[in-house]
């Protein structure tokens, strides 16, 4: 019988764990698969870990990894995929925004032979208006300038076959924009629509600025356009300056020397100064990311593991 790994990241979600499992077990039970549930406690400060350990009383197939601190959801998913022993894995949020009832549809697509199956959200009703506007803008820009194609509405609710898991695990980068990575590896892809639920309990872990940083992480990992665009800006501005110089020469020849304009000089200086700072800033952003990659620190540290085969235990960091 094929084996399924369900990967769930948790950050301060203790109040929702029971609800989640109550819906997850029946969804998994109806599949013709054996399964494991890998829970990553991403440095929770409430008693998420204790609640997860408690859950093991109901199902021993629950496995728990506790991070040494909060490393972020993307890293938690990375860890889950590395630990997964399944022939197929499903990653999903643990706040019940990703309904477990969609799992059988994902598995059905996998059985049809697809390697990466995205559950795509039909609507963004649960997001705030501001967040909706920004995520629309982000995906519109992303689709235009990134080197990969991400399906509309795809998030971290997705299925990966063993081939795709191995491919994602083989990617060494520290900047782990998971939706991007799972698209980048290729393979046969499909989508399954679902209605995103309201958050079961607790609150979203993402502040506006964290989302903004996440968005630029995603863009910079899959596009070098923000770096290259300055060449074209430079060419355009230089051409403009050349034309302006020609105009000035002709003007001077015909009408003689005029009183030099203060306003136009200021505008020129400020505009170019701003442009240069902006381009330098963007280069700085890329450089900072190169710096993190070059340091090559481990992606995460594990403080505890529960339920894993000791043979699988490869120390406290990976
Ligand atoms: N999460 C995590 N580490 C973090 C932030 C979030 O593991 O640093 C988990 C969180 O527990 C949840 C999922 O990632 O299962 C999605 O987070 P959240 O619901 O806060 O994000 P949103 O749904 O608002 O995008
Ligand atoms: Mg959520």
What is the three-state SS of 73-125?
HHHHHHHHHHHCCCCEEEECCCCCCCCHHHHHHHHHHHHCCCCEEEEEECCCC
248-281 pLDDT, tens digit each: 888 888 888 777 777 778 778 888 888 888 888 8
pTM greater than the 0.85 cutoff: no
Residue 254 to residue 260: CA distance in whole angstroms: 16
Of 310, 70, 297, nearest in space to 206 by CA? 70
pLDDT at 312: 57
Q: Is 72 left (phi over 0), alpha (psi -120 to 50) or beta?
A: left
All residues with CB under 5 Å from ion ligand 2: 95, 97
Q: How far is the CA of 120 from the centre of ligand 1 (A)?
A: 17
Atom index in ligand 1 nearest the CA of residue 93 equals 15
Instruction: Pick 3-207+298-306's CATH classification: 3.40.1280.10, 3.50.50.60, 3.90.550.10, 3.40.1390.30.
Output: 3.90.550.10
Q: Give me the mean pLDDT over the 170-184 stretch.
A: 86
With a cut of 70, say whether residue 110 has pLDDT above it. yes
Atom index in ligand 1 nearest the CA of residue 70 equals 8
CB-based pocket (< 6 A), ligand 1? 9-11, 13, 42, 70, 72-73, 76, 93-95, 97, 204-206
Does residue 168 or residue 308 have the better pLDDT? 168
- Which of 7, 8, 9 is the pocket-test mutation for ligand 1 (most atoms within 8 Å of CB)? 9
With a cut of 90, say whether residue 40 has pLDDT above it. yes
Q: Locate tokens 């059905």: which residue?
A: 108
Q: Whose CA is nearest to atom 22 of ligand 1?
A: 204
């Amino acid at each position: 019988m094929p084996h399924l790994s369900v990967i769930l990241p948790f950050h301060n979600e203790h109040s929702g764990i029971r609800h989640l499992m109550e819906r997850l077990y029946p969804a998994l039970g109806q599949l013709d698969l054996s399964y494991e549930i890998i829970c990553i406690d991403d440095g929770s400060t409430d008693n998420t870990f204790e609640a997860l350990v408690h859950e093991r009383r109901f199902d021993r197939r629950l496995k728990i990894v506790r991070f040494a601190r909060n490393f972020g959801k993307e890293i938690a998913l990375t860890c889950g995929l590395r630990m997964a022993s399944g022939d197929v894995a499903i990653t999903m949020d643990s706040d019940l925004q990703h309904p477990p009832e969609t799992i059988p549809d994902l598995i059905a697509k996998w059985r049809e032979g697809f390697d990466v199956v995205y559950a795509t959200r039909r609507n963004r009703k649960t997001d705030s208006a501001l967040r909706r506007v920004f995520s629309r803008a982000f995906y519109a820009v992303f689709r235009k300038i990134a080197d990969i194609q991400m399906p509309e509405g795809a998030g971290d609710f997705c299925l990966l076959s063993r081939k795709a898991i191995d491919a994602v695990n083989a990617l060494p980068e520290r900047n782990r924009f998971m939706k991007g990575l799972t698209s980048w590896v290729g393979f046969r892809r499909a989508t399954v629509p679902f209605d995103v639920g309201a958050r079961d309990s607790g609150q979203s872990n993402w502040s506006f600025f964290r989302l903004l940083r996440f968005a630029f992480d995603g863009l910079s990992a899959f596009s070098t356009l923000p770096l290259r665009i300055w060449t074209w800006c430079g060419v355009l501005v230089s051409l403009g300056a050349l034309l302006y110089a020609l105009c000035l020469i002709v003007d001077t020849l015909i009408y003689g020397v005029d009183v030099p304009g203060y306003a136009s000089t200021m505008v020129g200086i400020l505009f170019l100064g701003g442009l240069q700072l902006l381009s330098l800033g963007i280069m700085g952003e890329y450089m900072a990311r190169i710096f993190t990659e070059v340091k090559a620190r481990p992606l995460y540290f594990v403080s505890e593991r529960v339920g894993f085969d000791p043979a699988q235990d490869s120390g406290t960091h990976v």
